[in-house]
C-alpha cells in the first residue's frame, strides 16, 4: 500500500510528460486508474483459486516480486503506451489483495474477525499516511524516483515474506482448482446469485463505487480547485490515511463490539454520505482536513460488511468469496475513474450549464444514499430507527 500511495501525487505530472492538454490528462488519468482495476478483475479469481490450492504464502510472494520488477519498468517507460503496459502488469500483481483478505479470514474467528479486517484496512491507511507524503517529496527529484522507491519497498516486503510470513491455510482445507471458476465473470455471477449474503454484496459494491471517487479524482480535483502542488496533495492524502487507519485500527476494535456490527455498518454509511457532500462543497483547501475528521466514522462500514459475509462461508471457500468480492470491487473500480474524471471534466468545462466542481463527490454521495435505501428495504430495522 505504501508503494501504491507513493506514485499517486505524481501521476498527473508523469502523464503530462506525454500529453499537455488538461482534459486529455484527466481522461488518461482515469484510464490509468481503470486499467489497474481491470487487470485486478481478471487476475483476482485466478490468484484466489491458486491460494486455495497451494496456500496463501507462495501467491503473495510471487505477486510482491512481480510488483517490484514492474515499478522499475514504469520508472523508465519512454512512452505513454509502455507506461500503460506497466500499469497492466501492476494490476495483475496487485490482485494479491484477494489472497491477503483470505489470509485474514484463515486466522480469524467470530471474536476477532471484524477487528482483523479492520487491521488490514489500517494497513491500507498506513500506506496512505506514508506513501503519498514520500511520493510528493520524492517527486521533486524526478518523476522516476517515486516509482523506484515503490519497487524497493515491494522487494523488501518480498524478503519479509520469505523469512517471516507463515502459511495460514492448513493442508486439510486446501482444494483442487476448478478451472471454470477462473473466469472472473463466473465469480461475479456466483456472488450475485440469490443468497444470504446478497444484500451485503450489493452494499459492498455501492460503497466501493462511492469510495473510489478519492483515488479517481483527488489529485486532479485539489490541483484544480485549490492549486495544490504534488507535495500538498501528498500531505493531504497522508492525513486521509492517518484518519482512515485510526478508524480501522482503533474505532473498529472499540466501537463494533459495543454497538454491534449492524449498527456500526449503518453509522458508517451515514458518515460516508455526509463526508462526500462536504468534500464537494468545501470552498477552501484547509476545510478538506476538517471534512476528513468528520468522516472518521465512515471507516466502520467496510470491515463490518466483510465480517458479516465471511461468517456465512466455509473455511475452504474463503478464497473463492474474497476473489468474487475483489472481482466485484474491480468492476466498480473500472467504472469509477471513468465516471468521476468525465464528470470532473464536465464541471471544469465552461460550455453549457454551469456545474459545481464538486459534482463527482455529489454523485458519490448519491451512490451511498442508494446503498442506504436498499438496506432500509432489505432489513426490518431502518437506519433511522437504529441510529
Contact 267, 312 (CB under 8 A): no
Question: Distance from CA of residue 237 to its chain's centroid?
Answer: 14
- pLDDT tens-digit map of 324-348: 787 787 788 889 999 999 999 888 8
Query: Does 369 score more than 80 pLDDT?
Result: yes
Within 13 Å and on the Cβ side, how many CA atoms surround 143? 16
What CA–CA distances, in Å, run from 101 to 5, 184, 225? 19, 17, 36
Q: Does the reported pTM lie above 0.85?
A: no
Distance CA 112, CA 317 (A): 19
What CA–CA distances, in Å, run from 177 to 63, 105, 180, 181, 316? 19, 19, 9, 8, 12
pLDDT the model gives residue 324 = 75
Distance CA 383, CA 264 (A): 10
Cell numbers given for 383: 437506519
pLDDT band at 316 (very low <50, low <70, confident <90, very high): low
For the chain, give every domain's residue range.
Answer: 2-164+184-386
- pLDDT tens-digit map of 32-66: 888 888 887 888 778 877 888 888 888 888 888 88
**Among the listed residues 121, 119, 146, the one whose alpha carbon sits nearest the alpha carbon of residue 134:** 146
Please, where are the H alpha helices in 247-300? 252-259, 261-281, 287-294
Q: Tell me what the mean pLDDT of segment 262-285 comes to.
A: 91
pLDDT the model gives residue 382 = 38
Superfamily of domain 2-164+184-386: MFS general substrate transporter like domains (1.20.1250.20)
Amino acid at each position: 500500500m505504501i508503494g501504491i500511495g507513493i506514485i499517486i501525487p505524481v501521476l498527473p505530472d508523469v502523464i503530462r510528460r506525454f500529453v499537455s492538454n488538461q482534459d486529455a490528462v484527466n481522461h488518461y488519468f482515469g484510464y490509468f486508474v481503470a486499467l489497474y482495476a481491470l487487470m485486478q478483475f481478471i487476475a483476482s479469481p485466478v490468484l484466489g483459486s491458486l491460494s486455495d490450492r497451494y496456500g496463501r504464502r507462495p501467491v503473495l510472494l510471487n505477486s510482491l516480486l512481480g510488483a517490484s520488477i514492474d515499478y522499475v519498468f514504469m520508472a523508465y517507460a519512454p512512452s505513454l503506451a509502455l507506461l500503460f503496459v506497466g500499469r497492466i502488469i501492476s494490476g495483475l500483481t496487485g490482485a494479491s489483495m484477494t489472497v491477503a483478505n483470505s489470509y485474514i479470514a484463515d486466522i480469524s474467528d467470530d471474536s476477532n474477525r471484524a477487528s482483523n479486517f479492520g487491521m488490514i484496512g489500517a494497513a491500507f491507511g498506513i500506506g496512505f499516511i506514508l506513501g503519498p507524503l514520500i511520493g510528493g517529496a520524492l517527486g521533486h527529484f524526478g518523476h522516476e524516483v517515486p516509482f523506484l522507491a515503490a519497487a524497493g519497498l515491494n522487494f523488501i516486503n518480498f524478503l519479509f515474506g520469505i523469512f517471516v510470513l507463515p502459511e495460514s491455510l492448513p493442508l486439510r482445507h486446501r482444494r483442487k482448482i476448478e478451472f471454470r471458476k477462473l473466469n472472473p465473470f463466473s465469480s461475479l455471477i456466483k456472488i450475485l446469485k440469490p443468497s444470504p449474503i446478497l444484500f451485503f454484496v450489493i452494499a459492498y459494491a455501492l460503497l466501493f463505487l462511492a469510495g473510489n471517487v478519492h483515488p479517481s479524482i483527488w489529485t486532479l480535483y485539489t490541483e484544480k480547485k485549490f492549486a495544490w502542488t504534488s507535495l500538498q496533495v501528498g500531505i493531504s492524502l497522508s492525513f486521509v490515511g492517518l484518519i482512515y487507519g485510526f478508524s480501522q485500527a482503533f474505532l473498529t476494535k472499540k466501537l463494533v463490539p459495543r454497538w454491534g456490527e449492524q449498527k456500526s455498518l449503518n453509522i458508517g454509511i451515514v458518515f460516508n454520505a455526509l463526508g462526500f457532500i462536504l468534500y464537494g462543497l468545501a470552498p477552501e483547501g484547509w476545510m478538506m482536513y476538517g471534512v476528513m475528521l468528520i468522516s472518521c466514522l465512515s471507516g466502520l462500514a467496510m470491515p463490518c460488511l466483510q465480517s458479516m459475509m465471511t461468517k456465512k462461508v466455509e473455511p475452504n471457500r474463503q478464497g473463492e468469496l474474497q476473489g468474487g468480492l475483489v472481482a466485484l470491487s474491480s468492476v466498480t473500480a473500472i467504472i469509477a475513474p471513468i465516471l468521476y474524471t468525465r464528470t470532473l471534466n464536465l464541471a471544469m468545462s465552461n460550455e453549457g450549464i454551469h456545474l459545481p466542481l464538486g459534482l463527482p463527490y455529489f454523485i458519490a454521495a448519491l451512490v451511498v444514499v442508494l446503498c442506504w435505501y436498499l438496506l432500509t428495504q432489505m432489513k426490518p430495522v431502518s437506519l433511522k430507527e437504529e441510529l
